[in-house]
Amino acid sequence: MSANLRLESLGSRMAVFAWLSKALDYPGEELAQTLAKGGLVENLTGDQWDELREYIKSFKSAEELLLDLQKDYTRLCYVSKPRLVPLFESVYKEGKLYQDSTFDIARLYDEAGLRPEEEFNLPPDHITLELEFMSYLIYQEIEAIKNRHEENEQLALRLQSETIKNHLGVFGLGFADKLEQHCRSPFYKSAAGILRDFIEYELQHYVN
């Protein structure tokens, strides 16, 4: 693969991880406004995307769409007992918060020079943080390639591999399954499908 094609591929992967991180966080005005304007889904084809577009068009305003997304997300991730869709890796792997997987992903953040707890006030194994971390690592790989800094490139690659194989490879697929099973909104059904397909692709990339 040529350097330009590799950078293009990395840029696409970085964008998908960043999109998933935003899509699976608590929905805000920016997400609803983008969806209401046709962004994110305008060029996608297939029955699933047609259903999503019809869902978006069914709302008179971005505010109504946002309220519906927030209701579904809150039901799934905050008020259900037990949680229908837990947001933290340790709940999937060890059954409760702040376990070995929590501290292991925090160690990877530290190796990358990040301190997400200072900005987000969340356990480091939150789904959106792990997805955003992958996007950040791919960005670091791109910058290292451009600057011909092999040591930084190898660090970014190693941390990506560890994050996928030891964390998101299990956590992301479990999260996608629960989200698809319990969601009511076509948006979250679509997001679950994208997450599953992408994590499976990433696993093949790093395991093979």
Q: What is the pLDDT of residue 45?
A: 54
Cα–Cα nearest to 194, from 68, 49, 91, 62: 49
Contact, 84 vs 77, CB < 8 A? yes
Residue 193 falls within a domain, yes or no?
A: yes
Q: Name the token pair of 165.
A: 């194989």
What is the spatial distance between Cα 67 and Cα 91, in angstroms, rounded to a whole number?
27
Number of domains composing the chain: 1
Residue 47 falls within a domain, yes or no?
A: no
Q: What is the pLDDT of residue 48?
A: 63
CATH number of the domain residue 157 falls in: 1.10.3480.10
Contact, 26 vs 66, CB < 8 A? no
Helices (H), 83-126: 89-93, 100-111, 117-120
Q: What is the pLDDT of residue 121?
A: 79
Give 126's strand partners. 88
Residue 69 falls within a domain, yes or no?
A: no
- In sequence order, the 6+-apart residues with CB closer than 8 A to the CB of 29 are 62, 66
Residue 40 falls within a domain, yes or no?
A: no
CB atoms < 10 A from the CB of 199, how many? Answer: 23
Contact, 138 vs 163, CB < 8 A? no
Residue 194 falls within a domain, yes or no?
A: yes
pLDDT in tens, 108-127: 999 999 987 667 778 999 99
Domain that holds residue 126: 3-26+88-207
Residue 61 falls within a domain, yes or no?
A: no
Q: What is the pLDDT of residue 2?
A: 78
What is the spatial distance between Cα 154 and Cα 110, in angstroms, rounded to a whole number?
16
Does the pLDDT of residue 140 top 70, yes or no? yes
Does the pLDDT of residue 60 top 60, yes or no? yes
Average pLDDT, the chain: 91
pLDDT in tens, 144-162: 999 999 999 999 999 999 9
Q: What is the pLDDT of residue 115?
A: 81
pTM: 0.93
Residue 9 falls within a domain, yes or no?
A: yes
Residue 113 falls within a domain, yes or no?
A: yes
